[in-house]
Amino acid sequence: MKLVNVPEGKSVRVVSIGGGFGVRNRLAAIGVYPGAVVKVVKSPPGPIIIEVAGSRMAIGKGMAAKIEVEEA
Amino acid sequence: MKKLIKVALVGNPNVGKTAIMNALAGTSEKVGNWPGVTVQKKTGCYSFRGFEVELVDLPGIYSLTSYTIEEKVTRNFLLGGDYDVVADVIDVTLLGRNLYLTLELLEMGIKPVIVLNKMDELEDYGYTIDKNVLEKLLKLPVVEISAVKKKGLDELSETFLMVATGDLKPEGFTPLYSDTLENAISLIEYFFKDVKLSYPKRWFLIKLLEKDPEVTEWAREVLGEKFTGLSKEMERIEEEVLRKFRCDLPSFVAKERFLLASRIATAAVKHVIEFPYESFSDKIDRVVTNPFTGIPIFFFVMWLVFKLTFDLSSPISDLIDNFFSSFLPGIVENYLSFLPQPLKSLINDGVLAGVGAVMVFLPVLGILYLLMSVLEDTGYMARAAALWDNFMKLFGLSGASVIPMILGFGCNVPAIYATRAMRSSVQKLVTMMIIPWMSCSARLTVFSVFTAAFFKEHQSIVMLGLYLLGVFLALGLAAVLTRFLAEGEVDEFFIELPPYKLPAWNVVLNQTFIEIREFVTKAGTVIFAVSVFIWALASLPPGSTYAGEETFVGYLGKLLLPLFAPLGIEDWKPIVALIFGALAKEVVVGTMGALYGSSEEGLGKALQSAFTPESAVAFLVFTLLYIPCVATIAAIKQESGGWRYPLLAVAIQLSVAWVMAFLVFNLLTFL
**How much is the ipTM here?**
0.94
What is the predicted pLDDT for the residue at B459?
Answer: 82
Q: Which residues contact B87 (CB under 8 A, 6 or more apart)?
A: B7, B8, B9, B10, B112, B113, B115, B156, B160
Q: Convert the pLDDT of each residue in A1-21 to its tens digit.
A: 999 999 999 999 999 988 777
Which residues touch B609 (CB under 8 Å, ≥6 apart)?
A: none
B63 contact A CB<8A: yes
Which residue from B247, B382, B393 is facing A34, i.e. has the nearest CB?
B247
Instruction: Name the closest residue on chain B to residue A8, using Cα atoms.
Output: B286
User: Are the beta carbons of A56 and B496 separated by less than 8 Å?
Assistant: yes
pLDDT tens digit sequence for B64-114: 988 778 888 899 999 999 999 999 999 998 999 999 999 999 999 999 999
Between A22 and B15, the more confident residue is: B15
- Arch. (CATH architecture) of B3-165: 3-Layer(aba) Sandwich (3.40)
Q: What is the pLDDT of residue B622?
A: 95
b or e along B480-495 (b: 16 or more beta carbons within 10 Å of the residue's beta carbon)? ebbeebbeebbbbbbb
CA torsion angle for A44, A47, A48, A54 (degrees, to 10)? Answer: -150
Q: Do A30 and B97 touch (CB under 8 A)?
A: yes
Q: According to the model, what pLDDT value does residue B275 have?
A: 55
Contact across the interface for B254 and A25, Cβ inside 8 Å? yes
List chain A residues with CB under 8 Å of B248.
21, 24
Which of B250, B255, B382 shows the shortest C-beta gap to A21? B250
pLDDT band at B487 (very low <50, low <70, confident <90, very high): low
**pLDDT for the residue numbered B546:** 73
Please judge whether A21 and B100 are an interchain contact, meaning their C-beta atoms are less than 8 angstroms apart.
no
Segment B496-521 shows an average pLDDT of: 87
Please count the structural domains in chain A: 1
pLDDT at B2: 67
DSSP for residue B124? G
Across the interface, whether the CB atoms of A30 and B62 are under 8 A apart is answered yes
Q: What does the pLDDT read at residue B376?
A: 84
Q: Where in chain B is the domain with CATH 1.10.287.1770?
A: 179-270
Of residues B113 and B532, the one with the higher pLDDT is B113
Nearest Cα residue in chain A from B390:
A60
Per-residue pLDDT tens digits for B1-17 = 568 999 999 999 889 99
If you measure CA to CA, which chain B residue comes closest to A24? Answer: B251
Mean pLDDT throughout B361-390?
87
DSSP β-ladder status, B85-91 and B3-11: parallel
Q: What is the pLDDT of residue A19?
A: 79
Calpha distance B422→B428 (Å, rounded): 6
- Pick B248's closest partner by Cβ from A8, A24, A42: A24
CATH 3.40.50.2300 fits B179-270, yes or no: no
Q: How confident is the model at residue B573 (pLDDT cuts 50, 70, 90)?
A: confident
B311-332: average pLDDT: 87
Q: Do B495 and A58 touch (CB under 8 A)?
A: yes
What CA–CA distance (Å, rounded) separates A41 from B182? Answer: 36
Look at residue B97 in the predicted model and tell me its pLDDT: 92
Length of chain B: 671
State yes or no: pLDDT of B575 exceeds 60.
yes
B254 close contact with A: CB closer than 8 A: yes
| Range scoring the smallest mean pLDDT among B131-140, B218-227, B326-335 | B326-335
Percent of chain B exceeding pLDDT 70 equals 96
Answer whether B500 touches A (CB < 8 Å).
no
pLDDT (0 to 100) of residue B491 = 58
| B127–A contact, CB cutoff 8 A | no
Judge whether residue B601 has pLDDT over 70: no
Give the pLDDT score at B353. Answer: 79
Q: Could you tell me if B387 and B420 are in contact, meaning their C-beta atoms sit under 8 angstroms apart?
A: no
At residue A54 the predicted structure's pLDDT band, cuts being 50, 70 and 90, is confident
B211 touches chain A (CB under 8 A): yes
Burial B79-93 (b: 16+ CB within 10 A, else e): beeebbbbbbbbbbb
Question: Residues B69, B37: contact at Cβ < 8 Å?
Answer: yes
How confident is the model over B143-160, as pLDDT tens digits?
Answer: 999 999 999 999 999 999
What was the pLDDT predicted at B15? Answer: 92
Q: What is the CATH number of the domain that holds A54?
A: 2.30.30.90
pLDDT of B576 higher than 70: yes
Q: Name which of B494, B500, B501 to mutate to probe chain A: the one with the most chain A Cβ atoms within 10 A of its Cβ.
A: B494
| Distance (Å, whole) CA B297 – CA B289 | 10
What is the residue range of A66's domain? 3-71
Collapse the DSSP code of A65 into the 3-class scheme (helix H, G, I; strand E, B; otherwise coil) and give the result.
coil
CA distances from B113 to B138, B141, B629 (A): 10, 5, 46
Question: What integer is the mean pLDDT of B361-376?
Answer: 85
Mean pLDDT, chain B, whole residue set: 88
Q: What is the mean pLDDT of residues B603-613?
A: 86
The more confidently predicted of residues B617 and B358 is B617
Query: Any chain A CB within 8 A of the CB of B545?
Result: no
Whether the ω angle into residue A45 lies within 30 degrees of 0, i.e. cis, is yes
Q: Cβ A49–B496 below 8 Å, yes or no?
A: no
Residue B524 scores a pLDDT above 80 = yes
Interfacial residues of A (vs B; Cβ cutoff 8 Å): 8, 15-17, 19-31, 33-36, 41-42, 45-47, 49, 51, 53-63
Residues B590-601 have a mean pLDDT of 71
Q: Do B254 and A29 touch (CB under 8 A)?
A: yes
State whether B250 and A24 contact (CB < 8 Å).
yes
* pLDDT at B507 > cutoff 90: no
Domain with CATH 3.40.50.300 in chain B: 3-165
Identify the band that residue B274 occupies on the pLDDT scale cut at 50, 70 and 90: low
Interface contact B290-A55, CB threshold 8 A: no
CA B518 to the chain's CA centroid: 14
pLDDT in tens, B378-430: 989 899 989 998 888 889 888 889 888 988 888 888 889 888 877 777 888 99
